[in-house]
Homo-oligomer: A and B are copies of this chain.
């Protein structure tokens, strides 16, 4: 081996990029399964939730909130628009922008998803002591 196996073990134990990917995938699968009865993925739930606000946001601002590429968000919106859960209307005061909002159907679906999120997240929270949860949140926030 050109690269020593010890180097591989070092990377495996220390790489936060890998650790974040692993955990993100594992948690996504977990919430995907919990939300499956509603036909929502974890990402779609997060997106719908981020649109539940008093004033309709633009695509770019939501992409920033989710730390996601703007074009990824455009793609993610398509299935939700098709299902009539999200409305994207051109902003009359700046015709370059589209303002994203939940339709009544989207609001209703989000409402039915909240108890599922609450239940599933309680199960995740139970995996770690409270103070370790808080430092995990702080660490994730610091790197994103």
Contacts and interface: CB of A to CB of B under 8 A. Distances in A.
A93 interface: no
Contact of A144 (B11, B19, B107): B19
A98 B21 CA distance: 25
Interface footprint category on A: 35 or more
Interface string A103-144: 010011011001001000100110110001101111111111
A3 interface: yes
Interface of A: 1-3, 5, 7-8, 11-28, 30-31, 42-43, 46, 49-50, 52-54, 66-68, 104, 107-108, 110-111, 114, 117, 121, 124-125, 127-128, 132-133, 135-144
